[in-house]
């Protein structure tokens, strides 16, 4: 198949492109760095010729709720309009597990706006809702460093390996549209503070951590079991321990 990857140069997008190559498909990456701005539509139409499906793994930079809703909705709308014109028959969106259960976070508002556009659009679709990636706790540690110490909220996660997310997106694209969503998660629950500490250690980064909600990048709306996948989620094989042992890449 010929599959376009919106955000094909990003963390997940690059792995999707690599997975498509390995499986003998043709990948067409769409990003601003490659001359395609999905917020304006510049460069998009000519890249969708003979494409069978689009996987959307974009992550536009956003500053607040209104900005996030505008960016995710506009990118989705531009993709869907161009796809309807080009006759592309399947839109696969990467979303987040437990999206409807977390209030007050701009990124989540943006992702909900994205899902609404996908469901209302004219193109048959599949929404893949992933739990947090194995590198998420180390990433949020680096977001909030106060006096040389990173503040990490004590999240309960059921994290998934980035490569398993990419595989789930490719599987969804090749299987055809379900016009609905499903969750994908890793095999077991983990503590975010422990994950951040061990990831930074494997990467040789010397950053002291403090477990706290106050001052952390994510608030108490993320506490408890809210981030765990829905019952019936598809479970991917790579545990956090496996991912660390393979170098935390
Ligand atoms: N991190 C997690 O734990 C987690 C969990 C579940 C779901 N997700 C979802 O995963 C998605 C992908 O995240 P990621 O970390 O892989 O993202 P990322 O590394 O930040 O990559 C973002 C990609 O989007 C492209 N992009 C941004 N704005 C664009 C625009 N206007 N036009 C075209 N391309 C644009 C970027 O390329 P250019 O900058 O060159 O345009 C880049 O290729 C996000 O939507 C997030 O909600 C993340």
Tell me what pLDDT residue 181 has.
98
DSSP 8-class letter at 238: -
Give the mean pLDDT of 211-225.
96
Cα 11 to averaged position of ligand 1 atoms, centre (Å)? 7
Q: What is the DSSP string of 118-165?
A: HHHSSS-EEEEEE--BTTHHHHHHHH-EETTEEEE---EE--B-HHHH
Q: What is the pLDDT of residues 123-147, one digit of tens each?
A: 999 999 999 999 999 999 999 999 9
Indicate which residue's Cα is closest to atom 23 of ligand 1. Answer: 7
Ligand 1 within 6 A of 29 CB?
A: no
Q: What is the pLDDT of residues 16-70, one digit of tens each?
A: 999 999 999 999 999 999 999 999 999 999 999 999 999 999 999 999 999 999 9
| pLDDT above 70 coverage of the chain, percent | 100
Ligand 1 within 6 A of 31 CB?
A: yes
Tell me what pLDDT residue 245 has.
97
Tell me what pLDDT residue 18 has.
98
Ligand 1 within 6 A of 14 CB?
A: no
pLDDT at 89 over 90: yes
Do 8 and 17 form a contact (C-beta atoms < 8 A)? yes
Confidence of residue 175 (pLDDT cuts 50, 70, 90): very high
Indicate which residue's Cα is closest to atom 35 of ligand 1. Answer: 31
Indicate which residue's Cα is closest to atom 15 of ligand 1. Answer: 11
Tell me what pLDDT residue 117 has.
98
Q: Which of 19, 29, 31, 183 to mutate for ligand 1's pocket (most ligand atoms within 8 Å of CB)?
A: 31
Cα 135 to averaged position of ligand 1 atoms, centre (Å)? 14
pLDDT at 217 over 90: yes
DSSP 8-class letter at 186: -
Cα 18 to averaged position of ligand 1 atoms, centre (Å)? 16
Q: What is the DSSP string of 16-73?
A: HHHHHHHTT-EEEEE-GGGT-BTTTTBTTGGGGTT--EEEE-------SHHHHHHHHH
Tell me what pLDDT residue 26 has.
98
Q: Count helices and strands (H / E) in the chain.
A: 7, 12
Q: Which of 36, 42, 57 to mutate for ligand 1's pocket (most ligand atoms within 8 Å of CB)?
A: 57
By three-state DSSP, how is residue 208 classified? coil
d(CA 219, CA 7): 28
pLDDT at 210 over 90: yes
Ligand 1 within 6 A of 94 CB?
A: yes
Sorted by where each starts, the structural domains of the chain and their CATH numbers stand as 2-245 (3.40.50.720)
Tell me what pLDDT residue 249 has.
87
d(CA 134, CA 210): 19
pLDDT at 114 over 90: yes
């Amino acid at each position: 198949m010929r599959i376009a990857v919106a955000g094909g140069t990003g963390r997940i997008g690059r792995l999707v492109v690599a997975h498509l190559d390995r499986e003998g498909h043709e990948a067409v990456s769409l990003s601003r760095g490659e001359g395609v701005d999905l917020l304006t539509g510049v460069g998009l139409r000519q890249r969708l010729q003979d494409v069978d499906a689009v996987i959307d793994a974009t992550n536009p930079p956003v500053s607040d709720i209104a900005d996030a809703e505008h960016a995710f909705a506009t990118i989705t709308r531009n993709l869907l309009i161009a796809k309807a014109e080009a006759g592309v028959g399947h839109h696969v969106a990467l979303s987040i597990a437990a999206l409807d259960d977390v209030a007050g976070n701009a990124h989540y508002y943006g992702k909900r706006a994205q899902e609404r556009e996908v469901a209302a659009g004219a193109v048959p679709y599949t929404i893949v809702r992933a739990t947090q990636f194995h590198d998420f706790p180390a990433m949020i540690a680096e977001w909030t460093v106060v006096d040389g110490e990173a503040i990490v909220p004590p999240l309960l996660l059921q994290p998934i390996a980035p490569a398993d997310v990419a595989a789930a997106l490719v599987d969804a694209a090749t299987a055809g549209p379900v016009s609905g969503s499903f969750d994908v998660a890793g095999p077991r629950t983990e503590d975010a503070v422990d994950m951040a500490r061990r990831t930074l250690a494997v990467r040789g980064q010397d950053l002291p951590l403090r477990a706290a909600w106050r001052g952390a990048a994510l608030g108490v709306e993320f506490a408890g079991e809210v981030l765990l996948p829905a019952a019936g989620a598809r479970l991917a094989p790579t545990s956090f321990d496996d991912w660390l042992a393979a170098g935390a890449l």
